[in-house]
Amino acid sequence: MPLTDSYLERPRGIAEMWGRYLESGEYSDFLVTCGSRDFHVHRLVICHKSSYFRMLCKDNFKEGITQKLELVDEDPDVFQAVLTFLYTGIYETDKIAGSAELEIPPEGSCGSSVDSENDEENHRKGRPATTEDLVAHIQLYASGDKFDIRDLKDVSSKMFRNQLMRTPVENLDVPQIIQAVYTCTPLNDASLRPVLIDYCVQNLSTLLTQPEMASVLADMGQCAFELLRAYKDEADLRSRKAVEDQRTAVLEIKKAESQQLRESLAKLQKRDTHLMEILASHHNCRNCGKVFGGAPQVYGPMSDRVMLRCKACYTKHS
Ligand SMILES: [Zn+2]
């Protein structure tokens, strides 16, 4: 599923044109300095989707007057990816530090530029993610949150969830991912934190054997608390399910028992009918001619048939 396409609100040619303007800085009317890098950007583009930039570019802000902004806490590679998303709609993480090292790894997996053909292929195959991929999504989500770019938050949180959910816990450095999520997202985050906590609960047995988990949970008290709460919810759910299963089993047994009773009753009724039929057709023994003096006998405990045996000569009548 090429996630990028649904976020491309402009035709590809226009996106490419804006991409070129981002690269060349031509007609730029705003300068963003991030680390040692200068980004010559266009207010028209950065303000369109970001209320953060919209506000800063107003005349009553220093940045609006000087048309310059210095981002001190932002990673330049992450900011480059934010700009690429704003300019072209392309979501890519493969130039973000950490992911970049993995561009030509032995397994052939790399960062996750959704737009490239290879990654579309990987995406379809649902390849497992690396820790670096996931950290890159977390960083882009945090930037989307900081600059208030809703589309970027949507895409990055979806990518984070999809990749995390299909990656075995053994492939990941989960303590590092916890560290990143609980450092980069606000306390009330409802996108990355619940997904990560759910993943941790599902893989708790493996994670609890990792010494780094103890240390990260000691540092991230909020995560430890949320993990505990989710584990309790999971345990409650399981115990409710066990009670429900037991109730269902008891009902099944009762159902089987009552079915058996119904069948026995039907057999008895049939036997009665049969007896009435014999009595109606046989008044005397067909062998010795005497009147029956014996009681009706059943063929066997499971039989619905009965017989009359003459008391004088023991001839069977059925
Ligand atoms: Zn007889």
Distances (CA, A) of 230 to 165, 197, 201, 244: 17, 7, 7, 21
Residue 175 within any structural domain of the chain: no
pLDDT of residue 29: 87
Q: Are 123 and 12 in a shared domain?
A: yes
Are the CB atoms for 191 and 157 separated by under 8 Å? yes
Q: 206: helix, coil or strand?
A: helix
Per-residue pLDDT of the chain (318 residues; tens, 9 = 90+): 334 444 555 567 777 888 888 888 888 889 999 989 999 999 989 898 899 999 988 877 777 778 888 888 889 999 999 999 999 888 988 877 555 333 333 333 334 444 444 555 555 456 788 999 999 999 999 999 999 999 999 999 999 999 999 999 999 999 999 999 999 999 889 999 999 999 999 999 999 999 999 999 999 999 999 999 999 999 999 999 999 999 999 999 999 999 999 998 998 888 888 888 877 777 788 888 888 766 677 777 777 777 888 888 888 887
Residue 114 within any structural domain of the chain: yes
Does an H or E element contain 68, and which? Answer: strand 68-71
Q: Are 294 and 201 in a shared domain?
A: no
Give residue 276 CA to ligand 1 midpoint distance, Å.
19
Q: Are 43 and 86 in a shared domain?
A: yes
Q: Are 119 and 218 in a shared domain?
A: no
Give the count of alpha carbons within 13 A of 22, CB side only: 21
Are the CB atoms for 16 and 22 separated by under 8 Å? no
Q: 70: helix, coil or strand?
A: strand
Give residue 269 CA to ligand 1 midpoint distance, Å.
27
Q: Domain span at residue 204?
A: 187-266
Give residue 283 CA to ligand 1 midpoint distance, Å.
11
Does an H or E element contain 10, and which? Answer: none
CATH number of the domain at 15, please.
Answer: 3.30.710.10
Amino acid at 298: V
Q: Are 162 and 192 in a shared domain?
A: no
Number of domains in the chain: 3
Token digits of residue 245: 């299963």
Distance CA 54, CA 36 (A): 24
Distance CA 114, CA 79 (A): 17
Q: Are 11 and 89 in a shared domain?
A: yes
Give residue 299 CA to ligand 1 midpoint distance, Å.
19
Q: Are 248 and 286 in a shared domain?
A: no
Residues, CB-to-ion distance under 5 Å, ligand 1: 285, 287-288, 310, 312-313, 315
Identify the residue whose tokens are 């530090």: 97
Give residue 301 CA to ligand 1 midpoint distance, Å.
25
How does strand 68-71 pair with strand 30-34? parallel
- Most distant CA atoms of the chain, gap in Å: 130
Q: Are 17 and 158 in a shared domain?
A: yes
Give residue 309 CA to ligand 1 midpoint distance, Å.
8
Q: Are 17 and 97 in a shared domain?
A: yes
DSSP assignment of 236-251 = HHHHHHHHHHHHHHHH
- Final residue belonging to a domain, choices 135, 167, 199: 167
Amino acid at 209: T
- Final residue belonging to a domain, choices 115, 132, 167: 167
Q: Are 209 and 310 in a shared domain?
A: no
pLDDT of residue 1: 34
Residue 177 within any structural domain of the chain: no
Q: Are 286 and 149 in a shared domain?
A: no
Q: 306: helix, coil or strand?
A: strand
| Residue 67: φ, ψ to 5° | 55, 40
